[in-house]
Amino acid sequence: MDVGLFLREVRKAPGRMGAILPSSKYLSRLMVSSAEVQDDHVIVELGAGTGPVTAAIRDTAPNAPLLALEPGAELAAHLRKTFPDVDVSETYVQDLVETATEWGHTDIDRVISGLPWTVFPEESANAGLAAVAQVLKKDGILVTFTYVHANALLPGGKRLRQLLNTHFGDVSTSRIEWRNAPPALVYICRQPKKSEA
């Protein structure tokens, strides 16, 4: 994990990054285990950054088709070099339906998100989560994390839970991962609600 690269990207686009440090290996492993990832799954990772979650996915599912969305050009180049077997797309979550179609997989088993949903404008977060629900299989799972303090104290944390409930029929949380900086928990979202459009 290239912390220097991550910090450079934070300075360039703090609103897009939403964090001051990459996810720890502990949070990355919790996200992958919460998603119940298997080697025969088709997987999409959102906001792959420097790749700590990508590495955890590959540790669990070395042969699974994996698409990483990372709109930052320097981060995307780093991912391509570090994980040559991962398809990397410099696109945003709102374009996920089109991106997945171009990738050749329109029914996704698992979406693992490192996106800072709580700092996104509500319209952007809503559109992104709608796109995720649209590509997931009926029994597919989205996992995403939130920092404990943001979840408890910030308006964006409460809004995120409401948006997840809008787009998924079953939303639960993991234990808190105290070894992450800051501490975080994972939302596990099942029963995606497809749009009628």
Question: What pLDDT is stored for residue 197 in this prediction?
Answer: 53
Q: Is residue 116 part of a domain?
A: yes
Q: Which residue has the higher pLDDT, 1 or 186?
A: 186
Is it the case that residue 18 has pLDDT exceeding 70?
Answer: no
CATH of the domain at 126: 3.40.50.150
Over residues 12-35, mean pLDDT: 74
Q: Which residue has the higher pLDDT, 7 or 188?
A: 188
Q: Is residue 197 part of a domain?
A: no
- 108-113, strands of its sheet edge to edge: 87-89, 66-69, 43-46, 108-113, 136-147, 184-192, 168-173
Backbone angles phi, psi at 2, to 5 degrees: -95, 95
Q: Is residue 65 part of a domain?
A: yes
CA 26-28-31 angle, to 5 degrees, is 110
- The parent domain of residue 84 ranges over 3-192
Q: Which residue has the higher pLDDT, 19 or 108?
A: 108
Question: Which tokens is 99 given?
Answer: 């991106």
Is it the case that residue 6 has pLDDT exceeding 90?
Answer: no
Is it the case that residue 14 has pLDDT exceeding 90?
Answer: no
Percent of the chain's residues with pLDDT above 90:
77
Q: Is residue 147 part of a domain?
A: yes
Question: What pLDDT is stored for residue 5 in this prediction?
Answer: 44
Structural domain count, the chain: 1
DSSP secondary structure letter of residue 23: P
Q: Is residue 91 part of a domain?
A: yes
> Which parts of 40-175 fold into alpha helices (H)?
52-60, 73-82, 96-103, 122-135, 148-153, 155-167
Quote the mean pLDDT of the chain. Answer: 89
